[in-house]
Amino acid sequence: MSQTEVVFSGFGGQGALFAGQVLAEAALLEDRHVTWLPSYGPEMRGGTAHCIVIVADGPIGSPIVQRPRAVIALNRPSLTKYEPLVAVGGCLVINTSLVPDRPTRTDVTLVDVPATETAEELGSVRLTNIVALGALLATLPVVGLQATKQALAAKVAKAAPDLAQANQSALQAGFAWAEKLRSATSYAVPRENQYGD
């Protein structure tokens, strides 16, 4: 059975949990098995918020994961916490706008994306999480881009209808950035983990 685990992590307010929900709901649109496990608590006071999303082709034994296949680190504390935990051969998406440090891992695919800068160019720093999500999907297509666009549209219609088009642009911008990066560096992920359109 194919299964992919993704951790979204950032400061409270950066939208890590929201981005995880979008991925989870996109997986449901594709009739996949999925779990979404958020973490609440200290992050509400400025610490690190995170959620774990697991997408699989069959039943998922546990929503907890020790070695995630992918991590999106939206800030420096998230990189510090999760870089050591990414599975060998996995994917680490780093928001270089807030994380100037270079990771020490050489056994994972690194995706550097200036997510906050890109979000600001699109009109709102609130789009940072969606830029990073787009970069992940271009590198490790856990779910298809079309399903993600649909899930995002549905979520944003409820949460922030004024940012509907901007969110779609953010997803596409992150995807395009990582595609360009992938072409330049010629990295690839194993075929069994690819679920593109």
49 domain residue, yes or no: yes
> What is the full per-residue pLDDT of the chain (197 aa) written as tens digits?
799 999 999 998 899 999 999 999 999 999 999 999 998 655 455 667 899 999 999 999 999 999 999 999 999 999 999 999 999 999 999 999 999 888 989 999 999 999 999 999 999 999 999 999 999 999 999 999 999 999 999 999 987 888 899 999 999 999 999 999 888 765 444 434 443 43
192 domain residue, yes or no: no
3-class SS of residue 90: coil
Q: What is the pLDDT of residue 69?
A: 98
CB atoms within 10 A of CB 76: 16
Burial label for 184, CB within 10 Å (0-12, 13-18, 19+), is: exposed
DSSP secondary structure letter of residue 31 = T
Contacts of 46 (CB under 8 A, 6+ apart): 11, 12
For residue 72, the enclosing domain spans 3-186
Q: What is the pTM of this model?
A: 0.90
69 domain residue, yes or no: yes
Partners of 32 in beta bridges: none
- Beta strand 91-95 with 109-113: parallel, antiparallel or unpaired? parallel
Q: What is the pLDDT of residue 158?
A: 82
193 domain residue, yes or no: no
- CA dist 23 and 80 (Å) reads 23
Q: What is the pLDDT of residue 159?
A: 79
CB atoms within 10 A of CB 192: 8
E strand intervals along 15-113 = 33-39, 48-56, 70-73, 91-95, 109-113
Residue 131: name the closest of 97, 91, 82 by CA. Answer: 97
What is the CATH classification number for the domain harbouring 88? 3.40.920.10
Q: What is the pLDDT of residue 43?
A: 46
Q: What is the pLDDT of residue 192?
A: 40
CB 12 within 8 Å of CB 44:
yes
Provide the domain count of the chain: 1
123 domain residue, yes or no: yes
161 domain residue, yes or no: yes
89 domain residue, yes or no: yes
- Beta strand 91-95 with 70-73: parallel, antiparallel or unpaired? parallel
- CA dist 23 and 29 (Å) reads 10
CA angle 163, 165, 171 (to 5 degrees): 95
88 domain residue, yes or no: yes
Q: What is the pLDDT of residue 161?
A: 85
